[in-house]
Amino acid sequence: MTGHTELAKRFGTPSYVYDLDRVAAAKRDLFAALPDEVDVFYAVKANPHPEIVREMGVAQERGGARRRGCRAEISSVGELTAVLDAGLDAAEVLYTGPGKTDEEIAEALARGVRLFSVESLGDLRHIGAVGVRLGVVADCLLRVNSVSASASTSIRMTGVPSQFGFDSETLPALRDELTGVAGTTVAGLHFFPLSNSADEPSLIAEFQHTIALAAQLQDELGVAFRFVDIGGGFAAPYAVIGERPVYGALRAALAESLDTHFPGWRDGGPRIACESGRYLVADSGTLLVGVVNLKESRGRRFVILDGGINSFGGMSGLGRILPVSVRPYETGAPHEQLASLVGPLCTPGDILGRDIELPALAPGDTVAIPNAGSYGVTASLLMFLGRPAPAEIVVRGPEVVSASRIQHTRDYELGRGL
């Protein structure tokens, strides 16, 4: 691969470098960890870059057999456009999210989307009303907010009051209302109980719990499900030094649990899917940032960069991913100081790490944040202070596939004629 220092000099900083070979490797590892019959949805919110999305849709060889690429899970018509522009099929898309408007639903249906995750009876009725108006029927997966869970660690996504999903204990009483919404069919269930599982046993236990609950709800609702999305939770280091895990026991454990609870699953009764974002793209990305200045204040050191939370992570600004790991690129210098890593914005919240170990740095150096391929540019405070978006450089081996930058523009067409 072209050296990061060379890329930083050529395209400037801050800049992201995405390695498509790493994306392909993550996809191979995830496919290998799952039974061959299980579909994989790529959560486009993790990284909607066109080259990344296109790579997700590419079929791969495994054990002499050809396995199709990832399907797309989206939450907006903007993401739908990115998916279609990358050449993926709208009929293979899952549209999710708690705030779908009638206009968004209509556009998605008009462009060929037929599978929706629904969060509530009201959400289902919105989709049905638009479907009736357009003369189409949408397959809907009832997203489930389970009353209980298996894993006690990781980031919990169920078991609490939430805008996401039907409370599992309420579904049986809603059966007649759910199955009677014109313009829709209840095709199955959608789960997403946790994110970034702490370890493989926790991940397996959560999937086993989900599969058992899905079978129970099928019996209680009296509906033969055609599709069950059992969610994700696959882990990956995020903005810190580390390796993405490889799951060796998951494949057999999933197959055993599905054989027990859904004996026809291997023949598509129901079709089973998982979903992933971070696992598939995190380790493909490196954020290169330039050191602008060094400063000491009342006994503390600060390294000031040309990119902060405007370049990496509105989530970082919320304290979700502090602290990051940083190393100088291609120098191998040891860690020599504790300092806070801060960006260029006029806010004390522009901090990527407080009192973290850093190498000896000087203005003009380039440092790198590893495992930054997910929740980067589009999860950042791009518009704040009007600073340019970071460059995004896509490589495959030694080749630079593309280099681009998101531009901020204002469209006055909305008010034309006032």
Given a cut of 70, is residue 233 above it in pLDDT? Answer: yes
Q: What percent of the chain lies above the pLDDT cut of 70?
A: 90
If 0-12 CB within 10 Å is exposed, 13-18 middle and 19+ buried, where does residue 330 land? exposed
What band does 160 get if pLDDT is binned at 50, 70 and 90?
low
pLDDT, tens digit, for every residue of 3-32? 898 999 999 999 999 999 999 999 999 999
Given a cut of 90, is residue 316 above it in pLDDT? Answer: no
Give this prediction's pTM: 0.93
Least confident of 71-80, 138-147, 150-159, 267-276: 150-159
Q: Where are the domains positioned within the chain?
A: 34-276, 283-405
C-beta atoms surrounding 192 within 10 Å: 23
pLDDT of 333 = 58
Higher pLDDT, 10 or 154: 10
Report d(CA 140, CA 228) in Å as an integer.
11
- Answer whether the bond into residue 201 is a cis peptide, omega within 30°: no
pLDDT, tens digit, for every residue of 70-118? 999 999 999 999 999 999 999 999 999 999 999 999 999 999 999 999 9
pLDDT of 157 = 52
Q: Which fold has domain 283-405?
A: Lyase, Ornithine Decarboxylase; Chain A, domain 1 (2.40.37)
Report d(CA 147, CA 258) in Å as an integer.
21
Q: Which residues have CB under 8 Å from 395's CB, separation 6+?
A: 1, 2, 7, 17, 18, 19, 20, 401
Q: How many CA atoms lie within 13 Å of 318's alpha carbon, on the beta-carbon side?
A: 7
pLDDT, tens digit, for every residue of 167-200? 888 899 999 999 999 999 999 999 988 888 889 9
Given a cut of 70, is residue 315 above it in pLDDT? Answer: no
pLDDT of 369 = 92
What band does 329 get if pLDDT is binned at 50, 70 and 90?
low
pLDDT of 322 = 58
pLDDT, tens digit, for every residue of 275-309? 999 999 999 999 999 999 999 999 999 999 999 99
Report d(CA 308, CA 44) in Å as an integer.
23
pLDDT of 255 = 98
Report d(CA 209, CA 22) in Å as an integer.
31
Q: Which fold has domain 34-276?
A: TIM Barrel (3.20.20)
What mean pLDDT is predicted for residues 121-125?
Answer: 96
What band does 126 get if pLDDT is binned at 50, 70 and 90?
very high
pLDDT of 360 = 87
Given a cut of 70, is residue 393 above it in pLDDT? Answer: yes
Report d(CA 202, CA 151) in Å as an integer.
5
The helix or strand, by DSSP H or E, that contains position 257, with its residue range, turns out to be: helix 250-261
pLDDT of 251 = 98
Q: What percent of the chain lies above the pLDDT cut of 90?
A: 72
Given a cut of 60, is residue 67 above it in pLDDT? Answer: yes
**What mean pLDDT value characterizes the chain?**
90
